[in-house]
Amino acid sequence: MSLAVSTHYDSQNYSSMIAPRLKRSALFADFTEEQIQEMASVFTPCDLSRDEYLFKQGDIGNFMVIISSGIMELEIDDSKGTRVFTKTLEPFDIVGEMTCLDPAPRSGSIKAQTDSEVLVLDRPSVEQLKNKYPKTYSKLLRTIWKRVSSRLNLTNDAISQNTEANGEVPFAKRQDNMSKGFKYSGKVELDENDSLQHFSPRELDTIAGVARKVFYPRDSIIFRENDLGKSCHIIVTGEVTVYRDVGRSRFELGRLNNGDLFGQVALIEHRRRGATVVASKDSVVLELSMMDFDRLVQSATPFALRFQELVTISSIRQLQHANERYTG
């Protein structure tokens, strides 16, 4: 990031000037006054001149911004470079909140239409927040994953409607094995999963110890769309497929593999399942109850924060996959 830091702020008093702006952003609507002040301490104000790009499509994103003043525009081009979407962004709009936690290529470009100011939260500042104010960092994680989960549900709805409207050939619905799985008594090797590498061996043992270990034969149902959400799941070995049923047809939303987390959206939003998940291979899965899930997401211990990061990043990557499925 090579943005010009705003010069009209007292460098010793950024927080008091940034906090009122954060309060007006929807992202921080549920934050306390103390949490707003702590968040303000890790944002940096930066200036952009008219026609200057904040970033360009395809750049690796590693920071989020809140527009403090000015008008900006989101531009999205297709693979041939043809402009396919534009959107005007105004003060207190949020851009890139997912990439400050999980860096990824930008899906569009942001260009200043007027001289503008943005408040920037980059990855080093996120780490500073995590280390200095863990409870506020936990609040930020929970706020972002709720936003991501809502967008994931909307995108999956659009995928189902779009594929049906375009006449895409769906999978024929078949009678899935009604088995709910069998207790698995073998050893689970969680340390071999890349997505769990930030947990210590002791923490992985704790997860494996409190979770129910289940073996699902191929084609068996793990849960159905509209079931009550009572647990989330981590794949130890195997593969699962996520489906939406529309009328007599079934549309695949995605596939998940070793180390992937699923089922968290229903727990985050306290809603029924938004899709059906079926074991597409023989699979061993850890099932974490709602009570244990809630205990981990309400805590701010280092272990709990790592679990919250897993939930957030899993949700972000599922949304990215869904967006690719929808636009592709």
Q: One fold for both 4-132 and 141-327? A: yes
The CA distances from residue 175 to 188, 225, 249, in Å, are: 30, 15, 13
- For the chain, domain boundaries: 4-132, 141-327
**SS3 of residue 112 by DSSP:** strand
The answer to whether the beta carbons of residues 210 and 232 sit under 8 Å apart is no
CATH class of the domain defined by 4-132: mainly beta
The answer to whether the beta carbons of residues 102 and 96 sit under 8 Å apart is no
Sorted by sequence, the CB contacts under 8 Å of residue 81 that are 6+ apart come out as none
Q: What CATH code is assigned to 141-327?
A: 2.60.120.10
pLDDT at residue 158, rounded to an integer: 75
The answer to whether the beta carbons of residues 60 and 103 sit under 8 Å apart is yes
Per-10-residue mean pLDDT of the chain, 328 residues long, equals 59 77 94 96 93 95 95 93 93 92 92 96 95 96 90 77 51 54 90 86 92 94 93 96 80 89 90 92 96 93 94 88 69
pLDDT at residue 88, rounded to an integer: 97
**SS3 of residue 191 by DSSP:** helix
Distance, in Å, from the CA atom of 217 to the CA atom of 224, rounded to the nearest integer, reads: 16
